[in-house]
Amino acid sequence: MRSILITGGNGGLGLGIGRYFLEKDPEAKVWLGVRANRTNAEALVGEFPDRCQLVELEVTSKESWEAAVATVLEVDGRLDVLVNNAGMHRDGLLATMEDDAWSSVISANLDAVFLGCRAVIRPMMGQRFGRIVNIASLSAVLPPLGQTNYAAAKAGVVALTQTLAKEVARAGITVNALLPGYIQTEALSHMDEEAAKRAKAGIPMRRFGTPTEVASAVFFLACQDAAYVTGSALKIDGGIF
């Protein structure tokens, strides 16, 4: 059995990653980290009641991380894969950005990854195996206007990933980042038809990506065959960058 913890477990991308593991690996046990909203996550648990569970997780809280990891270890006896997927936007120009718009985005997108990685490192080192996949963003390397907070946080995730990969490589733990571009999830639901057309026109593939296409990359980085891949920052953007 492989034990996988995915944060942002009620969102389109988190659910897509969880479903991919459950469908592709009969040995996978998926834990969906959720906070307030959990309807969609509960539906996935209903489909795979023996191999999918929810765990209460506020990703910006050290105590919540420690409790969630302790729950997984108590039930499964190990934690093999952490997917740091939770995140948020509060876009706006820096000149008029409120303090909370900066601090909340940094906390949810960068501090949460730090707390999650730190919470799982010790048990992973003890079992001499671990896979950490941090979901960053194409904004980390190609930031658009109005995302100083989000782009800074995601660039920090990439740097954290590359540094941590060096620190834990000898313990059998790999740490990698994914940089998705436009992915068809609720994050794009606010776009009107014209805005979507303009966005697709800037993508060489002329379409948005799917959660499954991101999930397949997570699945590869989490598998045994990817044991020599660490510290990478893999773009999934249809050729934008």
Residues acting as catalytic residues: 150
Strand partners, 28: 2
Contact between 174 and 161 under an 8 Å Cβ cutoff? The reply is no
Nearest-angstrom CA–CA distance, 58 and 141? 27
Which residue has 């991919």 as its token pair?
A: 20
Contact between 138 and 241 under an 8 Å Cβ cutoff? The reply is yes
Residue 120 CB contacts under 8 Å (≥ 6 apart), including other chains: 5, 69, 79, 82, 130, 132
